[in-house]
Amino acid sequence: MLAYYFNLALRSFRRNKVLTALMVLAIALGIGASMTTLTVFYVLSGDPIPGRSHALFHPQLDPQALRGYQEGEEPPIQLTRFDAETLLREKKGDRQAMMTGGSVSITPQNSDLAPFRVDSRYTSTDMFTMFDMPFLHGNGWGSQEDDAHARVVVITKSLNEKLFGGANSVGKTIHVDKSDLTIVGVLDDWRPTPRFYDMFANRGYGDGEDVFVPFSTSRDLKMDRSGSMDCWGDSSGDETDVNAPCVWIQYWVQLDSPDKAEAYRQYLSNYSDQQRAAGRFERPNNIRLRNLMEWLDFNRIVPSDVVMQMWLAFAFLAVCLLNTVGLLLAKFLRRSGEIGVRRALGATRTEVFKQFLVEAGAVGLAGGVLGLGLALLGLWAVRQQPVDYADLAHLDPWMLLATFAVTVVASLLAGVLPAWRAMQITPAVQLKSQ
Task: State CA 332 to chain mean position distance.
Answer: 44
Asked if the model's pLDDT at residue 333 lies above 70, the reply is no
Average pLDDT over residues 213-226: 94
Report d(CA 162, CA 355) in Å as an integer: 62
Asked if the model's pLDDT at residue 7 lies above 90, the reply is no
What digits encode the pLDDT tens for the residues 156-200? 999 999 999 999 999 999 999 989 999 999 999 998 888 889 876
What is the predicted pLDDT for the residue at 78? 95
For the four alpha carbons of 165, 168, 171 and 176, in that order, the dihedral sign comes to: positive
Alpha helices by DSSP H, 149-291:
157-164, 215-220, 258-277
Q: How many CB atoms lie within 10 A of CB 384?
A: 9
Percent of the chain whose pLDDT exceeds 90: 44
Residue of 364, 365, 338, 363 whose CA lies nearest to 423: 338
pLDDT band for position 146 (cuts 50, 70, 90): very high
365 contacts 27 by C-beta, under 8 angstroms = no
Report d(CA 190, CA 398) in Å as an integer: 21
Contacts of 269 (CB under 8 A, 6+ apart): 285, 287
Q: Where are the chain's structural domains?
A: 2-45+303-433, 53-298
Asked if the model's pLDDT at residue 400 lies above 90, the reply is no
Secondary structure class of 247 (helix, strand, coil): strand
